[in-house]
Amino acid sequence: MNKTEYLNALKEALKDTEESVMEEIVSDYEEHFQVGTEKGKSEEQICEELGSINDLVDEIKEVYQAKDGKQNKEDENQTNSNDRKTSERRFNIPNIDGEKIGDAINNALDSAGEAISKIDVIEIGHSLKNTLEQATSSINNFADTYLKNSFDFNRGNTEGSSENVSKSYETGEGPEDVEKSNVSYDFENNYQEAEETEKCPDTPTDDVTRTDTKEAADQNHEQQNTSDNKTGDSLNLVINGECADVTIVKSPNQKMNINYVNNGNERQKQFFEFYSYKEGNTIYAGIRRVGKAVFLFHLNHNSMSIHVELPESMNNMDVKTASGDIKLFDVKAERIIVGAASGEITLKRVISTDLRIKCASGDINLETVNSVKLNAGTMSGDIKADDLDAKFVSLKSGSGDIEAGNITADIIDNSSISGDVDLHQVKVSECKIRSTSGDIDIDGMNMNNTDASCISGKIKIQKICGDGLVVGSTSGNITLDVNVKRCHASSKSGNVDARCEGDVALESNSTSGNIKIGLKNFGNGYRVESRTTSGVLNIKYQDMIQSNLRSGTYTYGKQGSEMMISTVSGDIRLTD
């Protein structure tokens, strides 16, 4: 079956559905075909992934037939009843149909999902689930519009019913403060919830009532040492952006100003509400899901945003989103924790004592950041950093790359599992770089001690000076251009090519790879102890040329550099 045949069959199956609903469902399926074609899949493969939709369509028809039948019955009763009974019936309609429609269609999906899981493999099941989500999003639009227009359900005058909400808070305790002051919040909470969530609609929502939020804050208060938080007029900020993009900048009036905008469709506006309140010195803001919708799989990305303006002096900040981006510009706070699941995180001109950033699949961008402690980690995203000044810097990525430059720190601890690590223009006391299968590239470093290692990746270090350098790779090649006092370079099956400026105490070994040492110590001589099983040692230094040497100790001149070089089957070469 090809695309045309599949869509015609879909239209035929939905012919009894309202035309607007059918058009939206068909449009979603056409979009799925387009995405699949762009990924190189054939129309037959896409049809196979979509699977049979008859069961789903039948269930949807039953829901709407049941609903239409009920509505017709109510209309008939309304005609034969007096005005008092009519009013009572109208009052109860929105409290009944919304739940029944939601439960019926959700039960239909559950039944269809169980049947599919018994037949299809996991990959096809995931693809079908995504397609069903796209198709049924239009049903949600219809259901919400139907309830709103037919029953005139009154949501009440809440902040969530407005597209644009703005609030301001003074730095001092105002009338919105509760009796309990100096409320601390657990700013070290676990972001596992955000990391495991890829889409906003599937994420657990915040509690709707303020009482539940306060109980969570009180529980976290017991876990957090209150001495970590400043008292007085400095504010704490807690934001849960869910799907909204969050932007935080410096306030022009020394107040905390919060603005929320929802430019989504009508269904999205009804489904999310913005909240903002103050407890003690802590301000809570964000969006949460309210009510009950039938489906909400499709969101208009970048349609919701929270814009915050901060006073110059802030205590603690905790900002997290599920799929929304987070941006911090010109922000200063004692402790800042930022977390996102699939959103991107960007920090520019940020000053903090303790800065912690976590991201699941999004990228992390840092520029002009000053912090005593800086921790940034992402599972599959990239990390880009420029102009960092900190006592301790830790940049870690699972499968993404790390690129950082212009760093001044006492300690650097960077690692990536399968991504590359690229550092340039670094001034550090102690540095540790780790990568499993990615490459390590360091260009321009002034340090005391550096330890760089990987398993299958290549290591390239140049323009580095300091005391001690340790470099190791299991199967990758090592290339060095360094000016250090002590150097240890080893690779089991890769080659080692080291160019050393000045005198050095060098130790290098390889199992099957070759070792080449370029000694640029201004003719100050050397003492080399070589050990090789089946390889040979060749020396070309100043006027000394020796070839096909075996294991032994060889010296020249003042013996300014001492080297211990060993291989099993690889060759050794020493030049100036």
* pLDDT value of residue 103: 53
Q: What is the pLDDT of residues 393-426, one digit of tens each?
A: 999 999 999 999 999 999 999 999 999 999 999 9
Low pLDDT (below 70) residues in the chain: 18, 20-21, 24, 28, 31, 35, 39, 51, 53, 55-163, 171-233, 291-302
**Residue 81 placed within a domain:** yes
Strand partners, 370: 351, 389
The 10s digit of each residue's pLDDT in 31-81 is 677 767 776 778 887 787 776 767 556 645 554 454 444 445 455 555 455
Alpha-carbon distance of 441 to 161, in angstroms, equals 52
- Whether 232 is in a domain gets the answer no
Contact 291, 268 (CB under 8 A): no
Residue 60 within any structural domain of the chain: yes
Residue 140 domain boundaries: 3-151
The per-residue pLDDT for 146 is: 40
Residue 540 lies in a domain: no
Pair 452, 473: CB distance under 8 Å: no
Task: Please report whether residue 122 resides in a domain.
Answer: yes
In a domain, 330, yes or no: no
pLDDT digit string, tens, across residues 253-291: 888 999 999 887 777 777 888 999 999 999 999 988 875
Residues in contact with 435: Cβ distance below 8 Å, sequence separation at least 6, in sequence order: 415, 416, 417, 419, 420, 421, 453, 454, 455, 457
Predicted local confidence at residue 15, as pLDDT: 77
In a domain, 412, yes or no: no
What's the confidence (pLDDT) of residue 514? 95
Extract the tokens encoding 81.
């009843």
pLDDT at 317 (0 to 100) = 95
Domain total in the chain: 1
* Structural contact between residues 446 and 427, judged by C-beta atoms closer than 8 angstroms: yes
Give the 3-state secondary structure percentages of the chain, helix then strand then coil, rounded to 5.
30, 40, 30
Q: Does residue 102 sit in helix, strand or coil?
A: helix
First to last CA, the chain: 71
Element (H, E) at 37: helix 19-38
What is the reported pLDDT for 520? 93
Main-chain phi, psi angles of 575, to 5 degrees: -135, 170
Residue 426: how many other CB atoms lie within 10 Å: 23
3-state secondary structure 253-315: CCCEEEEEEECCCHHHHHHEEEEEEEECCEEEEEEEECCCCCCCCCCCCCCEEEEEEECCCEE
Among the residues of 39-180, which ranges form H helices? Answer: 43-50, 54-80, 83-119, 122-151
pLDDT at 45: 79
Structural domain contains residue 112:
yes
